[in-house]
Structure formats: C-alpha cells, structure tokens
Amino acid sequence: MPTRADITHFGAGPAALPTEVLEKAAQALLDYNGTGLGIAEHSHRSEHAANIINTAKADLASYLDIPDDYEILFLQGGGTGQFSAVVYNLVGAWVTRQKAQILKDLGVADEKDADQDKLTEELRKAVQEKLKLDYIVTGGWSDKAHKEAIRLLGPEYVNLVSDARASNDGKFGKIADESTWNLSKDPAFVYYCDNETVDGVEFPKFPEALAPSADGTGPIVVADMSSNILSRRIPIKNFSLIFFGAQKNLGCPGITIAILKKSLLPPTTSQPSPTLLRKLGLPIGPIVLSYEIAAKNNSLYNTLSIFDVYIAGQVLQRLMRVFPDKVDGQEAVAKKKAELIYGALEANSDVYRIVPDKSVRSTMNICFRVTKGDNPDESEKAFLKGASALGLTGLKGHRSVGGIRASNYNSIPLEGAQKLADFIESFAKAA
C-alpha cells in the first residue's frame, strides 16, 4: 500500500492538504491546547473559537494585503450557496441605494417624513426599469451562477454580458474580447469567475472594462475565486466582493469565505425590510445567507465548524512561514509549476492537446486531452493508469467534459509538478 509520501494528488477538490497541518490538526482533534477536549468539541461561542476566527481573519488579511475597509466572513453553503447569497445581498444593497436617491430627489431628509406609498411606488418603478445583474460567463461555474440569478429574479433582470461559448464553437475555452462585452449601465453588480476549474480557463488579469475610474468609482464587481485564491496577488480594491470555498487552496470542505467591502454593510448600507421587498416583488433571502447578519455576529450567527476554520488558519500560518513575501512568493512557485506541466504538453503536441486557448490557460487547473492513437479514450485511460501507478492521482477530468485535468493547487510541491511533467514526456515517447 502506498504511503502519504508516495502520493501527489492533483484532484480538483477537495485538494490535498500539507501533511504538517494535518498532523497538528489530528492532535488538536484529540486535545486542543491542553484543554482536555478536542477542537471539534469546544463551543463555537467559546473564547477558543473566537481566537481561532480572529487569528485566521488577521492572517488572511495580512497574506493578501486586504485593506481595513473590508470585512472577512466565514460562511457555510459552499460556493453554490454564494450564487444565491450574492443576489439576495447585493440586490438588497441596490434597493437601499435607489431609496436614498429617490428620497433626495423628493427633497425628503428623513425617510420617516416621506409619503410611504409614493416612495414604494417610485422604488417599484426603479426596479422594473433599472435593476440589472451582469454576468460574464466563461465556464461551468459562472454559467451556474448566471442560471441561479435567473431562477431567483427572472430573466428580465439578468444581463448576459458575454458568453464565451459564442466565440468558441459552442464550447468553453476562451474569454471573449472585452470590446464585445455588453455591460449594463449602473448594474447592481458585475459577476465573474476568476478561474474555471472544469474548463481550465483563468482571467490573466483584472478586466480593464471593470476597472475603477481615476476618482475610485466604478462597477460593483463580484468574483468567485474558489480555485485560485491565495495563488496570486489580487487588486482587492477593484472588488466589492470576493468569495471562495476553502477546499482548493485554503483548507477542507465546510466553510466559504467572503471578503466584502464594509460600505455594503451597516451603518453605510442596511438591507431593505422583508415587507418592502415583498411590495417590490423581490425575493427575501434566508437569514443564514445574510452578510449583514454574519458580520454583526463575527460569522457566528449559527454553529460554524471551528475545526474547518482552524485548518484554514494553520494553512495560512504555514504559507506565511514558507513565503516571507506572502502571496508573491506563492505566485512565483505556482507559475513555475504550471510552466513545467504546460511545457511538457507543448513539447509533445502530437500526443496531447491543451484544451483552453493559450491566452487564458489556468495556472491552477491544467486541462488537456490525449489525442494519439486510434482510440483516444483508451489512450487517456492508459495515461491515468500509468500516472496512478507512479502515485500521480486525481488526474481524471470533470465528468461533464472528460479528458485529463491536473489541478496545480498550492499544496502540490514543485517536485510533484516535475514528476508529472516527466511522466507526460515518458508517456508520449511510449505512445
């Protein structure tokens, strides 16, 4: 039987975790800091839990250089839950902004002095005429988020800015030129997925079409960074909301993190009342998905898995020990690993085909097909079998697209990437 040291796991998620983190966590499950109780047994309301949360928040802010005017939330429901949470919370914030503008236009300083029927009517008119949610669809996950917005609000409120399939023969693998994007005027938000795990597509940089102007104003930009967070530097201030599941680069399944501008929270922005939302015909979100409630309770409105937060905190502390220059150091290693793997594939283009366009190749999820031989499907099975025999596991592509996928997350050591590159070379020679 293989040992842990024999395996390099390239699975797309849950991803491998550093062995030293797991060893420490195993001890903490039995006895956390000499308390006689395991970490999973301590109350989420305890001082131990608060310290774990606050330390993890501080370390994440330090590693990514998150400014003080952003809140960090630990949530549940995964990235899929955030497809809904984004709609509920940011549509609510949009309604609050519209209400403030209407009161100003009516010359009313205090909402209590307004004609409530008139105010509601003007808000209803604003919703019908102005409300738009913008989605840039570049892969399976942004496609699902887009469909969820339509399910919750209806297609009349959701604008498809760009669908990458339209310029790539009906398949994902490219990002359409920004000059072709159909952005709304003052949308409630613009949504995109920074890295698509299924299709191996990653935005090479922050989209220029969404960049803030010189005075700092610009669209409210939301990004799903579940699969490339902590792997490269992010222009945090360009975003109003970033969310990511922990199970790729930060920890294990069970928690989702949101980095949110505090200006979208009280006292600057309060969510509309359920009564007002009903009058406007807008959906009311579950309280467990409320950013306002989560922030007010330091992510502890309901029972949070403190063990999962602890794992994430230990991963962050290890990253900062290994990389004194923080995320910049990890980014350099991630690029080097990706270059090794892509280089081996490109050197054997008669055997392999890299799926996405070169301009948008993901550093994290390297998707390719084996094209050599009379039966490529059998060739891919042989590739997977040969890789597994060498301890290179988790390489099977997503069930919706097939092929091979090497997920080059932070836990993959440089030696593991080199081992895969060597196997790519040797398999090609034998093909």
Q: Which residues make Cβ contacts (< 8 Å) with residue 56, sequence separation at least 6?
A: 74, 309, 310, 312, 313, 316
Going along the chain from its start, the domains and CATH numbers come out as 57-308 (3.40.640.10), 326-430 (3.90.1150.10)
For residue 44, the tally of other CB atoms under 10 A from its CB is 17
pLDDT score for 374: 81
pLDDT score for 91: 98
pLDDT score for 1: 81
Residues of the chain with confidence (pLDDT) below 70: none
pLDDT score for 158: 98
pTM: 0.97
pLDDT score for 350: 96
pLDDT tens for each residue of 179-188: 999 999 999 9
pLDDT tens for each residue of 238-266: 999 999 999 999 999 999 999 999 999 99
pLDDT score for 376: 85
